[in-house]
Chains A and B, each alone.
Chain A
Amino acid sequence: MAWKYSDKVKDHYLHPRNVGELNSANAVGEVGSMVCGDALKLFLKVDPDTEKIEDVSFQTYGCGSAIASSSALTEIIRGMTLEQALHVSNKDLADYLDGLPEEKMHCSVMGKEALEAAVASYRGEEYVHDDEDEGKIICHCFGVTDKQIEKVVIENNLDTVEQVTNYTKAGGACGSCLHQIEEIITSVRSKHFPETAPQLDTRGSTSPELKKKVSLYKKIKIIEDILDKEVRPALGMDSGGLDLVDVEDDTIYVRLIGKCHGCVNSEVTVEFIREQIEQILGEKINVVNVE
């Protein structure tokens, strides 16, 4: 695929600035790996009295935009104090390059992370983003933690899983963490951008009383109704179906039948059922497939 790179990005990957090791460096930040497809090693020479970045260089393994982002980063932070440099966001980096393709935003995030790692090393702290304090790994393919995802969502005002993949690579390989990413986005957005948080869809059959506590009997009636109208027709298209086995508090037990029984995609199917019911019922529920 040919990327639309700005002239400035092109200029920086064709003529990268400040390349190589810096012998006088007293701070080094290293992020990424060859396995992941990109890596950046940032060298800083910091004046111990003023904490000013007197000299800076980089080494990058990666695509054109990774090289350009690294080169741009060194140009931006030269002469800044560490404090000032830490305020440079991945967006500043992308803006400096007249923008990066959405799918390449993770290159600017890598620049920002290398800078944080270098500053941490200068201050004698260890920079490991899979440390307990730094959150837990969500994407195991690229080693991305929930904290990193939260951070890019807040700093860049992201609201889709695709954007998070573009900015961090999380979810870009096997895709098994996509659902977790979505949950993080929802929870971060409801905290930080409450005015844009998605409202629960209360279409059709939701009666006002549903929003209050309903009896178990009524709840089962409603669930059966949703299954009949929304779920069974959809499963039927793939020659499948389901039985409602039991309802217990907020957990709904179903049994997939027909083609859905034992289908490799049953997890997706269960997730679909959960979404359908949650949407109309207006409350959080679990759906369990009893084989």
Chain B
Amino acid sequence: MKVVVCVKQIPDPADPGALDPESKTLVRDAKLILDESDSYGVEMALQLVDAAGEGEVHLVSMAPNNETAGLRTALAMGAASATLISDEALKGSDALGTAKVLAAAIARQEPDLVLAATESSDGYTGTVPEQVAALMDLPSVTFAKSVAVDGGAAKVQRQTEAGYDEVTCPLPALVSVTAGVVEPRYPSFKGIMAAKSKPVETVTAADLGVTSVGWEGSGQTVASVEQAPAREAGTIIEDDGESFGKIVEYLETIKVI
């Protein structure tokens, strides 16, 4: 079974983000890491291939500047190989443009199953997995909290507003997984060493036959960026054993009690 996992390499969320004042898009020039949301998909894929007894996990990522640091983390976890789409022309791509590029790169792998996170931790548009499925004419199950493969079909528990649904979906298919679907493993030292020599193919949008990408293909322009009105500073006190009384008082003031 071949599983392709979409992974995003993002600026470390521990570093506060910024918008480029010129282009008004997220600045992505700092060192990139594997989006933690994607580590769940990588782990899920590794476990499904294990359970199937054969197959491999391939990664697909789109990132500027030939960035592979995040990919190496996922390779160290156990993925076999990766495709990196890195292309100046992709700068400014909207979610649909990104999905077109990813879908073209994924299709070349002819996967049985495509996994993705429900949304990235930096841009969180949250539409790319379903757009990729639509572009590839695949059925899809989003917001999975459990995934198994049985007899050529994915059996998924899908989050809903009220609880969850059990969904069956014939392969090939795309499944987007929520955080917590599995516990991602830490790369072992051996894994980290092995990852250094695993194949990462770098391609451009043109290599994939995808045109009209980046700023040119984007259906949106940023009109303005403004600071949200700040909340007024509150009262911060150190607990002296009696501070619960302040909370009671506050709740009385706002008439909650």
A and B co-occur in one complex: no
